[in-house]
Amino acid sequence: MQADCRIVLSTLLLLIGIGTGLKAQVLTPEDSLNAGLVRSDKPTVISGYGQAKVQYDLRYKTGEVSLTRNVLFVGHRFSPRISLFSEMEIEDAGVEDKKLKGSISMEQLFLKFNLNKDIYIVAGLFIPRIGIINENHLPTTFNGNDRHFTETLLIPATWRELGVGIYGNVRRIPGFNYSFAVVNGLSSQNFVSGTGIREGRFEGSKATASNIAVTGSVLYYVRNFRLQASGYFGGTAGLNKRNADSLQLNYGAFGTPVALAEFNAQYHNKGMGFKAMFAYTSIPDAANINRAYANNTPQAMFGGFFEAGYNLLYAFNPKTTKNLTVFGRYEYIDLNSTVAGNGINNDMLKQQYIVGGITYQPVRGVVIKADYVHRITGTPNPLLYINPYPQALPYYTSNGFVNVGLGYSF
């Protein structure tokens, strides 16, 4: 136990040391499309973001440290109306042959066409406006080392797909924005019980295009509120007729659909911040998916969270650009709230997360985070485990995790 603690402590010190180095990097001036030039003569931008964290599991008394992700952004403006945006992500410091350590993927790659000063179109691999973290996933924009669990398990952020989207704002209603997009659909064959629809994403890699999805949102900035509602409806069976018939699945553009609705509200004022979200997912043909693929897909899932935070430095200096926020968050997720007739209920998928911690930003673009996550779940259904205890490690329905990490974005 003492040895474990020493290892974790050493790692924390190492991470803090790395953080000092990162600060120096961010302060280096960089050219940018947006550096203040009305017509920039330097149309190519390089920027990025990343985060690392160390986690200590209080039950198993083990620690893990990882370079969670690093993303390189390259943008280029071909003309005042057409720009390229691309983000390449390396998770967990990369991949090695025959070792499943991390992953390399394109997080985004799209062309943006400005139709006028209020409306633009994006085409390519992009992240639709669903939830908060999907679009605002930089580590400097959210509290806690982990992204909201609701937006990891229920809304699979960062959820990028190939397609075309239109974004705009309504000038007659200041602060009112909208978006609508058509993207490729999901694959219900790849759904994994306990991870919602996450594994059904294609993320730009050889997606089936015979099933598609539509998604739309309205976003309204009013007073110090940011209010957003979004929806998604798409097919999950991109099969030909013969295969679909043999699996008894509805195929076509919206065959074997997934529907997701989400609402979130944020409030920021005078150092205070509040966030709330609710999301609901419906998979009406879950029984057909289970019959075809035996992956225990639920018929419905839901979840949400509420978070409150306060920047302590604001109390001393309302004009501060630094941030020392203390925050608390409660999340509730039920990943099999309605089980299909041929599905198996698993109470372990009814999960609560109580998160508390601090977020410190010595300068804009750099963040140091420390938090505690308490996870409470129902009991696992023994019918779903081939090698139960004592062969497998015991499962604790109540467990705590201590996280310390760093992040940057520029």
Partner 1 sequence: MERRSFIKAGCLVCTGAIALSALEACSTLPMVKAKPVNGLLEIPLTSFAESKMVIVRSNDLDFDVLVVKEGDAYRAMYMKCTHEDAPVAATASGIYCNMHGSAFDLQGNVTKEPATKPLTRFETTVTNLSVIINPTKILK
Determine if 180 is a binding residue for partner 1 (CB under 8 A).
no
Contact 88, 69 (CB under 8 A): no
Among the listed residues 198, 226, 369, 375, the single contact to partner 1 using CB under 8 A: 226
Q: How far is the CB of 263 from partner 1 (least distance, A)?
A: 5
Stretch that binds partner 1, among 58-66, 137-145, 241-249, 393-401 (CB under 8 A): 137-145
The DSSP-derived string for 49-111 is EEEEEEEEETTTTEEEEEEEEEEEEEEEEEETTEEEEEEEEEETT--BTTB-S-EEEEEEEEE
Contact 215, 226 (CB under 8 A): no
Contact 108, 125 (CB under 8 A): yes
Closest to 89 in 3D by CA, of 110, 109, 75, 103: 103
Question: Which residue, 140 or 193, has its beta carbon nearer to partner 1?
Answer: 140
Determine if 276 is a binding residue for partner 1 (CB under 8 A).
yes
Q: How far is the CB of 378 from partner 1 (least distance, A)?
A: 12
Chain Cα centroid distance, residue 171: 30
Within 71-130, which residues bind partner 1 (CB under 8 A)? 73, 75, 77, 80, 83, 85, 112, 114, 117-118, 120
Q: How far is the CB of 73 from partner 1 (least distance, A)?
A: 8
Contact 277, 175 (CB under 8 A): no
Q: Collect all residues with Cβ–Cβ distance below 8 Å to 344 and sequence separation of at least 6.
A: 296, 381, 383, 384
Q: Given the structure tokens 């440290």, which residue do they identify?
A: 65
Determine if 36 is a binding residue for partner 1 (CB under 8 A).
yes
Separation between Cα atoms, residue 132 and residue 155, nearest integer Å = 10
Determine if 315 is a binding residue for partner 1 (CB under 8 A).
no
Among the listed residues 1, 3, 38, 100, the single contact to partner 1 using CB under 8 A: 38
Determine if 141 is a binding residue for partner 1 (CB under 8 A).
yes
Chain Cα centroid distance, residue 310: 23
Determine if 32 is a binding residue for partner 1 (CB under 8 A).
yes
- The total number of residues written for the chain in this structure: 410
Determine if 360 is a binding residue for partner 1 (CB under 8 A).
no
- Strand-pair category, 62-79 with 82-91: antiparallel
Determine if 317 is a binding residue for partner 1 (CB under 8 A).
no
Among the listed residues 295, 352, 381, 399, the single contact to partner 1 using CB under 8 A: 352
Residues contacting partner 1: total by CB under 8 A: 63
Q: Name the residues that contact partner 1, by CB under 8 A.
A: 26, 32-39, 49, 73, 75, 77, 80, 83, 85, 112, 114, 117-118, 120, 132, 135-136, 138, 140-141, 167, 169, 171-177, 219-227, 263, 265, 267-268, 276, 278, 302, 304, 306, 321, 332, 334, 337, 352, 364-365, 409-410
